[in-house]
Every structure is written in C-alpha cells, then in structure tokens.
C-alpha cells in the first residue's frame, strides 16, 4: 500500500477497503474459514459443549513494554475461554481505527495478533474493519470474541469451594497494569514489562486433576482483589491470603509504592488463579512451574470458614496483623485493557 495513514475511505467499503483487507488481513489470516471472505465463518460441529466469550480492548497507549493492543486482544479472549475450562479454538477480530492512524502501526498490531493466535493455536475466522473520524476513537480499538470446546472433567463453580482449599496463582501479579500505567505517564518502565500472555497451557497442564479444581479465573481488571472477592461474595467461606507469599516483581512493587497503588488491585493479562483441593495444591504448583508462563507459580492463600471471614478476602500481613482486601473503588487505572 502506498499511503502511510488510514483514511476514512479505508472503511467505506470501496476499493480502498478492499486493498486494506487484502493486503493486511487476508495476507495474514486468509487461510481456513476466512478464505474468500464470506459474511460468516462456517465451522465444524462439535461433539461437546462450547464456551463463547467476548472482550473489547481500548488500552492506552496501544503499544506498551511487553506487548501491544493486538496480542492483548488475543490473550484476553483466549484466557477467558481457557479459564472457563475450554480449549480455545476460534476467534473473531473487529477493528475500529481512527482516521489518520499509521498503517505501519496497524501492521505491527496485526503481526502481533497473528503471532499470538498461532501461539495459542486459535484461528481468526471472521472479522470486521471500521474507520471512524479523527477524535472519535483513540487510535485503534479491537474487539475479539472466542469460541472453545469445553474440556471433559472440569466442573468449575465457585459454589464448590470449601474450607481447606488452596488459592494458587501462576506468577507475578500486576505487571501489566503497572507497565501500561508507566508507559502512559511517561514514567520510564526500566525492566518492567506487561505480563500479557496466554494461559491455556497452564489449564492444559492440570487436566488430569480437573475434578479437584474448583474454580479458575484470570485476574484482569480489578486485579486479584476483585477476582477473589467475586469468588467469596455472599458465600459462607472466605479467603485468607499470606502477604509473605504474594508474588510481585521488584519493578511493579517499586512503581506501585511510588504511585500509591495496591498491587492486589492491579490487572494482570497473562496470569491465572485457581482454587483447588488442598491435597493437590503442591502438585498444581509443580506442574505450572515447569512451564515458562508459570515459573513463579505459588500458593498464596487458603479458603477458611470463620464467622469473621466469610464472604471476605483477608490478608495476613508480614507483621502478623490482618486486614481486609477490598475490591478497588471507582477508577483506578483508566483503560488498561
């Protein structure tokens, strides 16, 4: 393509649209169901049940240390499908691009989408591209929806959680939110990188103990605090976290101290947590630690039944005191995904 900027005409449905789709979309994703650009993807019937999830991505800035809005849009939806106990298979991809957006940046984003989809072994099977006037969006927004096939053996339900169960996370918490925040505010990120990554291999690694896994989730917006509070809300159990065990990177801790954020409130985009039978907790940790994305996996807490704790997430601090871990209030980090 000769021009270096996205024009309104690229979304008009005419020749410019056609060339954008051919040059940038079909060239990357034009195999399989997307071939020939039908209005809808024709997919094979599945034997089991399906999981279907969607997410929109408006992260600002679109490029941040450790990733960009493209791979984030793949990981976000793939992870939602995976932690629902499914094998992610197909994705839709809808782009909303601001007039004047650099085509070189669009290419980088599409390359990242392609690489992430290949890594996750999912196919982009349908999509859409719109261009809006300058000022009507911030560079580029992406929506992805994903379909996966439910894996036999998982019966995930927060109702199944019982006292003695352990809470496990797959790695350092909050790196994504802090990296985006640092990039947006020009704070200099040093070695701090987003953790944006897929978690489907972590899910696959615990398939044969699936019946002992009560619940899985990826702690994105609202961080671990929001995720765990959702798990215990209105239940007759609570979660006791051990501050000494919480895995945080040195860089994220430094930045969060400076800015006054609680890293338990900050999003990760490549981590997962599970609540499992205490008897298999060490086994899950060991399996996760053998994968690069689970290298820092650890047990961070335990499910308790106690009148003072039920329905709550409580942190035992390093000095031996206890405090409530609440859901974040209001706007914490605007637009981190």
Partner 1 sequence: MKYIDGFRQGDAGKFLGKRIRENAAKLAAAHPPIFIMEVCGSHTMAISRFGIRDVLPDNVRLLSGPGCPVCVTDAGYIDAALTLAKRDVIIATFGDMVRVPGSSDSLADARSDGADVRVCYSPAQAVDIAAENPDREVVFMAIGFETTIAPVITLIPSAMARQLENLSLLTAFKLVPPALSALIADPEVKVDAFICPAHVSAIIGSNAYLPYVEQHGVPCVVCGFEPLDILFGIDNVVSQFLKGERLLVNQYNRVVKPDGNRAALALFEKYLIPVDAGWRGIGVIPQSGLGIKDEFEKFDAAMRFSVSTAGGAPDPGCMCGEVLKGKILPADCPMFGDACTPQHPVGPCMVSSEGSCAAHYKYER
Q: Closest distance between partner 1 and the C-beta of residue 114, in Å?
A: 37
Neighbours of 88 (CB within 10 A): 28
Dihedral of CA atoms 66, 54, 94, 179 in degrees, nearest 10, equals -20
Q: Could you list the residues that contact partner 1 (CB under 8 A)?
A: 185, 244, 250, 253-254, 257, 260, 262, 315-324, 326, 329-330
Q: Closest distance between partner 1 and the C-beta of residue 124, in Å?
A: 38
Nearer to partner 1, 214 or 312 (CB): 312
Rounded to an integer, what distance in angstroms lies between the CA atom of residue 203 and that of residue 261?
Answer: 29
Dihedral of CA atoms 259, 260, 265, 271 in degrees, nearest 10, equals 50
DSSP 293: G
Q: Closest distance between partner 1 and the C-beta of residue 268, in Å?
A: 19
Nearer to partner 1, 40 or 320 (CB): 320
Q: What is the dihedral sign for C-alpha 304, 310, 311, 314?
A: negative
Nearer to partner 1, 283 or 316 (CB): 316
Q: Closest distance between partner 1 and the C-beta of residue 253, in Å?
A: 5
Nearer to partner 1, 1 or 250 (CB): 250
Closest by CA position to 202, among listed 78, 69, 73, 50: 78
Nearer to partner 1, 118 or 306 (CB): 306
Phi and psi for 298 in degrees, rounded to 5? -165, 165
- Bridge partners (DSSP) of residue 301 are 167, 241
Rounded to an integer, what distance in angstroms lies between the CA atom of residue 174 and that of residue 262?
Answer: 9
Nearer to partner 1, 4 or 331 (CB): 331
Coil vs helix vs strand at 276: strand
Q: Closest distance between partner 1 and the C-beta of residue 224, in Å?
A: 15
Nearer to partner 1, 120 or 232 (CB): 232
Q: Closest distance between partner 1 and the C-beta of residue 169, in Å?
A: 20
| Cis? peptide before 288, omega within 30° of 0 | no
Nearer to partner 1, 50 or 187 (CB): 187
Specify whether the CB–CB gap between 223 and 325 falls below 8 A.
no
Closest by CA position to 31, among listed 123, 169, 162, 101: 123
**DSSP H or E segment with residue 111:** helix 103-120
Q: Closest distance between partner 1 and the C-beta of residue 179, in Å?
A: 16
């Amino acid at each position: 393509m000769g021009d270096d900027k996205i024009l309104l005409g690229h979304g008009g449905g005419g020749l410019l649209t056609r060339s954008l789709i051919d040059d940038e979309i079909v060239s990357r994703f034009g195999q399989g169901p997307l071939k020939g650009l039908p209005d809808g993807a024709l997919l094979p019937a599945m034997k089991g049940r399906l999981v279907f999830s969607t997410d929109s991505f408006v992260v600002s800035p679109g490029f941040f240390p450790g990733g960009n809005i493209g791979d984030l849009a793949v990981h976000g939806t793939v992870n939602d499908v995976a932690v629902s106990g499914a094998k992610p298979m197909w994705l839709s991809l809808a782009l909303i691009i601001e007039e004047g957006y650099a085509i070189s940046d669009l290419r980088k984003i599409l390359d990242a989408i392609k690489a992430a989809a290949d890594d996750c072994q999912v196919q982009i099977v349908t999509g859409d591209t719109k261009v809006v006037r300058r000022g009507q969006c911030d560079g580029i927004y992406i929506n992805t929806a994903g379909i996966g096939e439910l894996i036999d053996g998982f019966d995930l339900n927060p109702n199944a959680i019982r006292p003695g169960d352990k809470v496990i996370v797959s790695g350092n918490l909050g790196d994504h939110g802090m990296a985006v925040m640092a990039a947006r505010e020009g704070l200099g990120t040093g070695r701090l990188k987003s953790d944006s990554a897929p978690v489907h291999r972590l899910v696959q690694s615990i398939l044969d103990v699936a019946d002992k896994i009560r619940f899985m989730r990826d702690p994105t917006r609202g961080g671990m605090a929001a995720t765990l509070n959702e798990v215990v809300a209105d239940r007759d159990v609570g979660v006791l976290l051990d501050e000494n065990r919480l895995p945080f990177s040195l860089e994220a801790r430094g930045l969060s101290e400076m800015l006054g954020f609680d890293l338990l409130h900050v999003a990760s985009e490549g981590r997962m947590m599970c609540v499992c039978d205490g008897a298999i907790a060490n086994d899950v940790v060991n399996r996760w630690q053998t994968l690069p994305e689970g290298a820092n996996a650890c047990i961070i807490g335990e499910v308790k039944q106690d009148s003072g704790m039920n329905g709550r997430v409580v942190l035992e601090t390093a000095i031996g005191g206890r405090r409530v871990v609440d859901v974040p209030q209001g706007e914490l980090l605007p637009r981190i995904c």
